[in-house]
Amino acid sequence: DTAVSQTPKYLVTQMGNDKSIKCEQNLGHDTMYWYKQDSKKFLKIMFSYNNKELIINETVPNRFSPKSPDKAHLNLHINSLELGDSAVYFCASSQAGTSGGVYEQFFGPGTRLTVL
Amino acid sequence: AQSVTQLGSHVSVSEGALVLLRCNYSSSVPPYLFWYVQYPNQGLQLLLKYTSAATLVKGINGFEAEFKKSETSFHLTKPSAHMSDAAEYFCAVTNRKGSTLGRLYFGRGTQLTVWP
């Protein structure tokens, strides 16, 4: 009954490689997010999709490309990995409040990416 | 723009003692505020949220927080700490009521240590 799941949980790779992280939510939410948590635990939003449409695109290198095949999935593809990409990446989802109100975000367990 | 400041990156208390984690926010419009907890190697879990209803908000695991507009604060408290409360705590703000964006701005986190 996992709400927000991510695969893989750990990812170790060499510089220059291309890798993907997958995220799925079974909560029926219409909005999904990617966050990056650095070594000092600071959380920063990278992208947000609402109904498969890109809504938030922060200042992130264009080596990072999100893809949302449907409302329940948001994948993150990273090209030409660099040492500085090492971090924990969290996927989250929420349901937009169309008539007012703010709904909390539900987070996945994270993917720890280590670039060697 | 919104921002959150968490005073004290590390807080240590004895088991049974009061827990107080400080959060101050900056927002040009009425904010919506959240506290999340992150246990080691896990994702973020919502503790509680303030969305302009009661200013004293009760959450899970015995935590509560009080919204004080005059002080722009949303401090998290628990009367009696338990060993299982040891974790990283994040305060977050958003102000897009009714928006599909739901952009959260996180504080830098406070690591809570509980001594036996």
Tally A–B CB contacts below 8 A: 73
CB-CB contact of B103 with A35 (8 Å): no
CB-CB contact of A96 with B102 (8 Å): yes
Summary mean pLDDT of chain A: 90
Residue A13 φ then ψ, to 5°:
-150, 170
Residue to mutate among A2, A43, A106, A112, with most B CBs inside 10 A, is A43
- Mean pLDDT value across residues A104-115: 94
Q: Across the interface, which of B90, B98, B109 has its CB nearest the CB of A99? A: B98
B47-101 per-position pLDDT tens digit: 999 987 788 999 999 999 999 999 999 999 999 999 999 999 999 988 655 444 5
How far A14 CA sits from the closest chain B CA (Å)? 23
Q: How far apart are the first and last CA of chain A?
A: 34
Per-residue pLDDT for A25 more than 70? Answer: yes
Q: What is the pLDDT of residue A99?
A: 54
